[in-house]
Every structure is written in C-alpha cells, then in structure tokens.
Amino acid sequence: MIIYDEQNLLFTLHTRNTTYQMKVDHYRVLLHTYYGPRMECGDLSGLIRYGDRSFSPNPNEAQYDRTYSLDVMPQEYSTCGVGDFRLPSVELELPNGSHSADLRYKGCELQKGKYTLPELPAFYGTEEEAETLILYLEDAAAQIMIELYFGVFEASDLITRSVRIINYGTETVRLCRCASLCLDFLRADMDLITFDGHHLMERCLDRSPLRSGIQSVGSIRGASSHQHNPFVILCDQHANEDTGLCYGAMLLYSGNFGAAAECSQYDSTRLVMGIHPYHFCWTLPPGESFTAPEAALVCSPNGFSQMSHQFHNAIRRNLLRDPYSYMRKPVLINNWEATYFDFTADKLLAIAKEASSLGIELFVMDDGWFGDRNDDNRGLGDWQVNETKLPGGLKSLVSKISDLNMTFGIWIEPEMVNEDSDLYRLHPDWVLHIPGRAPARGRGQLVLDFSRKDIRDHIYRQLQVVFSSAPISYIKWDMNRSLTDVWSAGLPAQRQGEVYHRYVLGVYDLLERLHTDYPHILIEGCCGGGGRFDGGMLYYTPQIWCSDDSDAIDRLRIQYGTSFCYPPCTMGAHVSAVPNEQNGRITPLKTRGIVAMSGAFGYEMDLNKCTVKEKEEIRQQIEDYKTYYELIRHGDYYRLSSPFENDLFTAWEHVSADKREALISFVASASRPASPFLKLYLKGLDPSLQYQIDHSEKTCSGSLLMQAGYPLPVVKGDYQAFQIYLKAK
C-alpha cells in the first residue's frame, strides 16, 4: 500500500509487516526517513537530527545555516560533487568536464500494478499484487531527470527499486555511475553478511560487524561471479534465524556489480548496490535515457528465516517464468560425468534405457554433440549436430529417447567460441578483443561480442535449426569463462565503457527470444556451475546449476548459503558417482540423494555401473522425490543448523503453508567415537497439532517437537543421512 501525503510531500510504503518512508524537505531534497517493522504513524522525519558538523559543507540555499548538510542527511538517492562525501548513487560527467549531480524533487506518479523495465529482468505483478510509485528528481543545471521506481508487493513484504536517467538537455552527458539502490540508516551497530567463495565452493556465508569506512563486495568478471553474490544482508548484531531485525538486498543483474556499505563518521550507514563503476561509462545524447537494473529489498523483524521465506515466496510467484509452475518437473539424468566428450548415440541410449527403467523422465545430452567437439579446445560456435557421433542427427536420437517414455534436453554455450572452429575462422573479429593485443583464453575459448545484435542473430539462427529438428523440452545454457579483453568493434572509442553492460543486455535478449519462441522449454542456467546464480538469470532460467561441485558434503555448505535468498526449487542438484570427481570423497548413495532432493533433482552418473542394490535405492529416491515434490517446491524452508558452525550434523526442513506437513533432512558429519546424543528442534509447525511420524503410530505435538526437540537416532559411519516425514492427524 502506497500512501501519498501531498500537503507534506510524504511517501509511505506499507507491506504486510514493514514500512518504508520518504519525505521531501524544505530544500526539495528527497530524504529517507524510515525502513523497518510496520508502523501505523505519520511523519517520521523527526528521527532526523540537525547540527553543525565541521567540514560538512552546506548547500547554497542554506546560506549560513551550518546545521544542514547533505554530508549527514539520509538521502533516498545520494549525490556527488555537491557536499555529500559518502558513497554516491549517481555520477555525471557534464559537457564542461565537471563530475557532479545535485538532485531535487520535481514530482511523483502512482500506478496500480508493477512497473516493467525494457530489456531488463524484473519482478512482475498484477494490479491486485503490486503498486508502483515513481518519484522524479531533477538536476536542473545538468538538465537531467532521474526517475526513481518503487514496486510494492504488500503480501510478500517485498519492495523493488530501479532508476531511469533521462537527458532532456541539448548537450551530451556521460553517466559514470548509476546505482539501483541507495539505503541510508541512522545507525551503524549492524553486521554485514555477504555470500562469497570460488568456483566449486560458491555462496559461503561471511559475517562481520560494520566498521568505520567502506566494506564492499562485487565482480568485474563480466558475470555476477562465483566469488561474490549480488545479495547482501544488513542485520542486528544479535540477529539469527529466529530473532533480530535484518534487511536483505538483491540485485537482479548478471554482470559486473558492486555492493558497498559505508559506516560514516557520525555512525550512520549507507548501502549502495548496482552496476560496478569499473569500466562503466554510458553516453547519454540529448533525448536519450539509461535504465538501471532492478534491486529488491526485504525487511524481516524476526530473523533470517522470515527474510528467506519472503524472498522465496516472491521469487516463486513473481519472478520465475517456469513452464513447470503448475506441474512437477521431470527427474533428469545428465551424461556429462558419465561420458564427458567420449560418447556415441548408442552409449547415450544405453544410459537412457537404464535411467528410464528406474523412473527417470528427462535425458540431457551435455557438451560434445556439435561440430568437431571432442575436447575443450575446438568446436564452440559451430552449432550443427555432429552426425558422426549421432547418425541421423537429433531427430533419430530423440525419437529413440521418446520411445523410452523420456523427454530430451540439450547443452549449449552460445556466448563462447573456440579458435579451432568454422565460426572463428570466418569471423575472428566477432570476439571481444583489444586491437593490437593477443587475447587471453579461458577453458581454451574466447568470448563472442554479445553486445552486437548481428552476432547474436547468427548464433540464434543456428540454434533455431537445432531446436526445430527434434522435440526438445530442456536447455542447459552454460558459460565457462570470465570476460577479458573487453573491447567491441561495434562501438566507437568514446563508448567502450558501455560494452560490459551491453554484453549482459545481449545475453538477456537472446534468452528472451528463447523464452518467447519456445515457451515450453525449461532453461537451466549455468556458469561453470554457480558463477551466474542471481535474480537476473532466474527471470530467464528458473533453475540454475548450483555448483560444479556435486559432492554432497560440499553441497551442504553451498546450498545452505544459497538458500538465504534463493528458493530450493531454483538450485540444480544432482546425485553423482563416487569417489566424487571434484574432491574424491566417498559418500553414501542415500546421503547424495537426500542432499540433491532439496533442489531441482537429477542424476549425473553412468547408471549401468550401479549395482542391483544401488539401482533399487535410486528407484526409491525418485519415488520419494515425486512424493515430496510439492512440499519441497512450495513449502517454507528452515535451516535447522549451519554446516559452517555445527561440526556434528547439518539439518533442514520443508514445511507446508498450512503447517500440516513437514519433511526434515539430516546429514551427519564424519563419524567419531562416543558421539553425544543429539536432539533436533524443529520449526514452523503448528504447536497445537499432533504429527504422525514417518507414517507410523507414533505421534508428537508440534509444541513438543519445537520446544523439547526430537531425539535423533544414533548413526554409524561417515556422512550418514535420513529423513523424517511429519503429517498432522
């Protein structure tokens, strides 16, 4: 609900549990007054204090009033060059060479429904689900208008933000910085939580108290990256899963980003998030505009679990465009770890036949099906079926897969090219490269210049031929290197600062074409696993391969960190063979199944090498997943323990919306002698209900299970796992 007090120029955004407020002051500066638990009150600008602060300049309109300075005011969209020395939201390079932005309120507009962003991913909402507020800020001297967009999803406690910058003057202006989100707090006693790591170990939780100065994370790799995720949390220092005030901020963007929190000299905090300013400079000729990616905010007065539920619900309802929204996703098998590049149609069919007999429903053919692609160093860019490997092309193979009552999926990496390819030999100028320099390689490949539409069109025409040759229901879109040598032949020298962002827009463009032309196809995103796991990609690819590390014990950490923002249904998770390819660990098949079952479930192994007993266990895992599918996909997710803090076990829980069902998953750490007896304190149940345990006669009240705990059975052996199913009587 948006309330506009026209007389006092006061804007109050209410969600079910939170309030966000802004006010235009007497100098027409847009101040941020409050964001926190819902308050039924009027003007909260009295929380802002004024005083003479040395070396904090005063705007010209204040004349000799030294108690007013932008350097200490909590602003809704921070400026630069005019007296605020904290993190700026926007930086303009004006025709005279100066760098500044002085923003004053110009007007507002309220709309029913949710705003949309041309060429960019964004949450969507009907008039019943969302409202939009647009605030207009002007730099009159620069002749720049800035539109601040706010989307309010009351039921989900979600507020979205975006920015559009318009040059209405007669001279060209250059945009050197444009944040999507600025959030000022009149306090500094908070912790900053980021989700960091590396390839094969993404999104590990990192928590530290705010200190004087700037703490930041970001990426300049051309993708949101394995190293840092575009999602951060600011929270009370005592906040945990169940208590404490916390703020989650997610950027819906898949390229270079920056998120920074600055603790000022006067114990206030500013959080700024948006496109990373590294190598970013956007030229704005007269009459043109620039739109920043969307950011999404959630405030939870009751700890991390509530925050996660709010994000999960909003992402599932108002971000994912999933062809399986109203039906169960198929259980898949991917041939990569079973065959790598060394396969024939007969070898693939042998895997598919065994998979079908066990209840697997989707066969995914990974890398190696096209061009002269027998290793990492050749073939990328030549998207024609290799009929030496696959006689009769896809039509023949898919027909045989269909006869097994399985659907078919395929792997692509359209953003990349090998030098040993027909495409590169014909068009060496199509790659990102700096004239006069030899380019760097990654995984033996170069990067196609997706900022150019002619290149995207060529790639898409090739893919259309492939996708039209046989029924395809799933695409795995991969990206296996970071961007270097970022220079485009399609832009003049003074506009090379646009290439990184135009590249991301190009990726979104091709994905949107796929979504439009093949709406029945489920697209899974991948970037060497989890290197582009962000809200922007989820808009186009409703599930993402969570990590190239498929080891169940490592995945406990990866999926734990990922779950703080992103729902389990978005996490691609497979059962792979042991010893594990990435770390050599041997983990029980049951454990591998339970861990993978908490995501978009599948297998990545040669099932023909499994024993009879293992095949029977796989058959049961698939049946269990199908049984619990709705609970896992739509239920509230609770982290019952942290794999980073608990060295005995990791546990999590899915609870249905009506609290009548729950699935608890438990994985023990490496075994040790004389282990203590353990109890698990469940969450999210109805304390007044009696729950039947694992279809047995045994029952316990929700109150007992949450307050007194459930005694866990003693397990022996490394990494043992089990599940407990609860159903209210």
pLDDT at 181 > cutoff 90: yes
Rounded to a whole number of angstroms, the CA Rg of the chain reads: 27
The one catalytic residue in 206, 375, 509, 614 is 614
Percent of the chain topping pLDDT 70: 100
Q: How far apart are CA 249 and CA 260, in angstroms?
A: 11
Three-state secondary structure call for residue 466: helix
Is residue 630 part of the annotated active site? The answer reads: no
Region 346-362: mean pLDDT is 98
pLDDT at 293 over 90: yes
- At residue 297, what are phi and psi to the nearest 5 degrees? -120, 140
pLDDT tier at 694 (50, 70, 90 boundaries)?
very high
SS (H, E, C) 138-206: EECCCCEEEEEEEEEECCCCEEEEEEEEEECCCCCEEEEEEEEEEEEECCCCEEEEEEEEECCEEEEEE
Phi, psi for residue 623 in degrees, rounded to 5: -65, -40
Q: How far apart are CA 729 and CA 223, in angstroms?
A: 49
Alpha helices in 408-481 (DSSP H): 422-426, 453-468
Q: Cis peptide before 230, with omega less than 30 degrees from 0?
A: no
Give the CA diameter of the chain: 86
- For the chain, helix, strand, coil in percent to 5 are 20, 30, 45
pLDDT of residue 322: 97
Burial letters for 332-357: b for 16+ Cβ neighbours within 10 Å, e otherwise?
bbbbbbbbeeebebebbbbbbbbbbe
Mean pLDDT of 432-450: 97
Render pLDDT for 356-368 as a digit per residue (tens, 0 to 9). 999 999 999 999 9
Give me the residue label for tokens 């991948």.
Answer: 526
pLDDT score, position 628: 98
Residue recorded with tokens 């199509």: 430
| Run of H or E including 333 | strand 332-334
Distance, in Å, from the CA atom of 330 to the CA atom of 84, rounded to the nearest integer, reads 54
pLDDT category at 225 given cuts 50, 70, 90 is very high
pLDDT at 672: 87
Rounded CA separation 248/254 (Å): 18
Evaluate if pTM is beyond 0.85: yes
Q: Give the bridge partners for 378, in sequence order.
A: 420
What pLDDT is recorded for position 117? 98
How do residues 456-485 score in pLDDT, each as one tens digit?
999 999 999 999 999 999 999 999 999 999
Q: What are phi and psi of 514, to 5 degrees?
A: -60, -45
DSSP 222: S
pLDDT score for 41: 83
The pLDDT assigned to 371 comes to 97
pLDDT at residue 198 in the model: 98
Tens digits of per-residue pLDDT, 564-611? 999 999 999 999 999 999 999 999 999 999 999 999 999 999 999 999
pLDDT of residue 675: 85
286 HSE (CA, 13 A, CB side): 4
- Alpha carbons 481 and 500: distance in angstroms, whole number: 14
Give me the chain's average pLDDT, please: 97
Mean local confidence (pLDDT), 439-452: 97
Place of tokens 């808009």: 539
Q: Which one of the listed residues 478, 534, 604, 606 is annotated catalytic?
A: 534
Do you know the residue count of the chain? Answer: 729
Q: Check if the beta carbon of residue 562 is closer than 8 Å to that of residue 533.
A: yes
What per-residue confidence (pLDDT) applies to 674?
85
Domains, the chain: 2-318 (2.70.98.60), 332-634 (3.20.20.70), 649-728 (2.60.40.1180)
H or E element that contains 2: strand 2-5
Retrieve residue 501's tokens. 């962002």
Q: What mean pLDDT is predicted for residues 373-385? A: 97
* pLDDT tens digit sequence for 315-344: 999 999 999 999 999 999 999 999 999 999
Residues 100-156 have pLDDT tens digits of 999 999 999 999 999 999 999 999 999 999 999 999 999 999 999 999 999 999 999
Q: Per the structure block, which two tokens stand in for 103?
A: 């923003």
Q: Is 614 a catalytic residue?
A: yes
Q: Is-contact 368 412, C-beta < 8 A? A: no
pLDDT band, residue 347 (cuts 50/70/90):
very high
Please report the pLDDT score of residue 419 as a whole number. Answer: 98
Q: What three-state secondary structure class fits 508?
A: helix
Q: Which tens digits make up the pLDDT trace of 552-561?
A: 999 999 999 9
DSSP secondary structure letter of residue 293: P
Residue 241 predicted with pLDDT over 90: yes
Q: 723: which strand partners?
A: 665
Residue 178 backbone dihedrals phi, psi, to 5 degrees: -150, 95
Q: Amino acid identity of 458?
A: H
CA 646 vs. chain centroid, Å, equals 26
- Could you read off the pLDDT of 510-523 as tens digits, one per residue? 999 999 999 999 99
Evaluated on CA atoms 156, 159, 162, 168, the torsion sign reads: positive
Cβ neighbors of 648 (< 8 A, separation 6 or more) are 668, 669, 675, 676, 678
